[in-house]
Amino acid sequence: MKERGMLEIFALDELLRNAATAQRLRLERALRPCDLSPAQFEALRHLNARESMSGAELARLSALSPQTIGVVIENLEKKSFVRRNADANNLRIRRIYITDAGALALKTALLCAANAIGPPLLNAAGAEEASAAVRFLTKLLASKR
């Protein structure tokens, strides 16, 4: 690979990491009034999309360690946003369910998050550029090695 190509690759890598960090910080700030961390927000989003799941399933979907997701679920349980019940087929597994209070907290958090992270994305790119970015990032994520 030529030197110019390598420099562009590393510049793109740095931009992607910096953009991800900026978005994460916007999300953290937006969720503070909702008393949710980004990990709790993601857990609620995944749980809201399914009837229930195990901690291991949630950890895989969230790209967090089982230990971390355990702490996230404990904190959500203290807030009454989730509940855990034994799995009917395997008593060692506890299924996690979002509660009505959790669904309401998620709805509020989604509005806060959309208002915080949406405008910078929309202001930085028009519809065509945003579509191109989505296509690029989708291909990038699909090519995991």
Could you give the CA distance from residue 33 to residue 7 in angstroms, rounded to a whole number?
41
Confidence class for position 145, pLDDT limits 50, 70, 90: low
Tell me the pLDDT tens digit for each residue of 83-139.
999 888 887 889 999 999 999 999 999 999 998 888 887 788 877 888 898 899 899
Measuring CA to CA, which residue among 105, 117, 52 is closest to residue 75? 105
Q: Look at residue 2 and tell me whether its pLDDT is greater than 80.
A: no
CATH of residue 84's domain is 1.10.10.10
Share of the chain above pLDDT 90, in %: 62
Measuring CA to CA, which residue among 82, 55, 80 is closest to residue 70? 55
Q: Are 87 and 94 in contact (CB under 8 A)?
A: yes
Q: Alpha helix locations (H) across the chain?
A: 3-31, 38-48, 55-62, 66-78, 100-124, 127-142
Residue 68 belongs to domain spanning: 3-142
Q: How many domains does the chain have?
A: 1
Could you give the CA distance from residue 64 to residue 71 in angstroms, rounded to a whole number?
11
